[in-house]
């Protein structure tokens, strides 16, 4: 998703440079916004089909080969494995708002995902004094996932050097659906444990928004600038439009 925002931003700023100076700034902002919306609509196809030319795999649905992770954090150590993992819904987004404010050099947006979910078989083997061994199937969904954000940028007057100053992202989720099998061998406890997970994730996403926003900003700002690097605007547009 990071790359969705990145591409949106770059398209915005590129169009900004090319826009007629005589065009009123508010109209400029509107036309840039519609270019971004078109870009994001085209990007859906990249998610669905991948782009061999640019080494992008199909991401909707995204399948992962069997893999396992070693966990080693203090008291907890063990392995966590997934098999037959499939993530769905990254392409099922609706752009609610997309506004470019060329005066303030910022882009604000609101994008809604109907359901981002995964199914997988999992396998956990953890030791922490006692041993936890679990395996089974799992389904997990974030429904009505809303991503509101604001990206501030600067554009060098003479060099046209684009720099991202700040990325603020506020996610919220309407409903979390967790159906992980075999957390407990008793069906009623299993449901209870899933409910605890649903509540925990809902609260984490919806109530820690400032924390999440700050964290994303710290992480994403340098990553965006690094990704932009010396890649030209036409490279980015080629990825969006001619990717398949
Ligand atoms: C998972 O997400 C996809 C794409 O958003 C959606 O079509 C599908 O109904 C979801 N699966 C379930 C079981 O909710
Ligand atoms: C749940 O765990 C038991 C015992 O570890 C295992 O026999 C069973 O296959 C698991 N259920 C599923 C659906 O994988």
Ligand 1 in contact with 117 (CB < 6 A)? yes
pLDDT in tens, 200-209: 999 988 987 7
**What is the pLDDT, as a whole number, of residue 198?**
96
Ligand 1 in contact with 113 (CB < 6 A)? no
Whose alpha carbon is nearest atom 11 of ligand 2? 136
Whose alpha carbon is nearest atom 12 of ligand 2? 136
pLDDT in tens, 35-53: 788 888 888 998 999 888 8
Expressed in angstroms and rounded, the spacing between residue 142 Cα and the centre of ligand 1 is 10
Q: Is the pLDDT of residue 161 over 90?
A: no
Average pLDDT estimate for 211-221: 82
Q: Is the pLDDT of residue 76 over 60?
A: yes
Owner of token pair 């909707």: 60
Task: Compute φ and ψ for 152, nearest 5 degrees.
Answer: -100, 140
Average pLDDT estimate for 59-65: 92
**What is the pLDDT, as a whole number, of residue 53?**
80
Expressed in angstroms and rounded, the spacing between residue 171 Cα and the centre of ligand 1 is 19
What's the pLDDT band for 85 if we cut at 50, 70, 90?
A: very high
Average pLDDT estimate for 70-88: 87
**Which domains, ranges and CATH numbers included, belong to the chain?**
2-240 (3.15.10)
**What is the pLDDT, as a whole number, of residue 12?**
60
Expressed in angstroms and rounded, the spacing between residue 216 Cα and the centre of ligand 1 is 26
Average pLDDT estimate for 204-229: 82
> How far is CA 76 from each of CA 73, 129, 132, 142, 185, rounded to the nearest angstrom?
5, 9, 10, 27, 22
**Tokens of residue 73, six digits:** 């954090």
Q: Is the pLDDT of residue 212 over 80?
A: no
Expressed in angstroms and rounded, the spacing between residue 135 Cα and the centre of ligand 2 is 6
What share of the chain has pLDDT > 90, as a percent?
A: 37
Q: Is the pLDDT of residue 62 over 90?
A: yes
Q: Which residues line ligand 2 at a C-beta cut-off of 6 Å?
A: 135-137, 181-182
Q: What is the DSSP letter of 51?
A: B
Least confident piece of the model among 15-29, 52-66, 148-162: 15-29
pLDDT in tens, 118-127: 999 999 888 7
Distance CA 118, CA 201 (A): 15
Ligand 1 in contact with 216 (CB < 6 A)? no
Expressed in angstroms and rounded, the spacing between residue 45 Cα and the centre of ligand 1 is 18
**What is the pLDDT, as a whole number, of residue 19?**
47
Whose alpha carbon is nearest atom 13 of ligand 2? 136
Expressed in angstroms and rounded, the spacing between residue 141 Cα and the centre of ligand 1 is 8
Whether the CB-CB separation of 7 and 38 falls below 8 Å is answered with no
Is the N-terminal amide bond of 61 cis, ω within 30° of 0? yes
């Amino acid at each position: 998703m990071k790359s969705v925002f990145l591409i949106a931003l770059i398209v915005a700023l590129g169009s900004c440079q090319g826009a007629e100076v005589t065009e009123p700034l508010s109209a400029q902002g509107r036309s840039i916004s519609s270019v971004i919306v078109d870009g994001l609509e085209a990007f859906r196809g990249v998610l669905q089909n991948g782009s061999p030319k640019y080494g992008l795999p199909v991401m909707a649905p995204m399948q992962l080969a069997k893999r396992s992770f070693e966990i080693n954090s203090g008291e907890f150590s063990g392995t966590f494995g997934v098999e037959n993992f499939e993530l769905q819904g990254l392409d099922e987004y609706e752009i609610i708002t997309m506004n470019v404010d060329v005066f303030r050099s910022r882009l604000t947006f609101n994008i809604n995902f109907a359901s981002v979910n995964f199914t997988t078989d999992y396998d956990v083997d953890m030791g922490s004094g006692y041993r936890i061994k679990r395996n089974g199937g799992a389904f997990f969904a974030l429904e009505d996932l809303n991503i509101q954000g604001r990206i501030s940028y600067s554009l060098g007057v003479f060099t046209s050097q684009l720099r991202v100053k700040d990325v603020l992202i506020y996610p919220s989720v309407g409903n979390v659906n967790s159906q992980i099998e075999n957390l407990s061998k008793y069906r009623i406890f299993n449901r209870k444990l899933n409910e605890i997970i649903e509540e925990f994730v809902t609260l984490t996403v919806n109530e820690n928004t400032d924390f999440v926003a700050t964290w994303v900003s710290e992480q994403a700002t340098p990553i965006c600038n690094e990704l932009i690097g010396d890649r030209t605007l036409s490279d980015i547009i080629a990825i969006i439009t001619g990717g398949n």
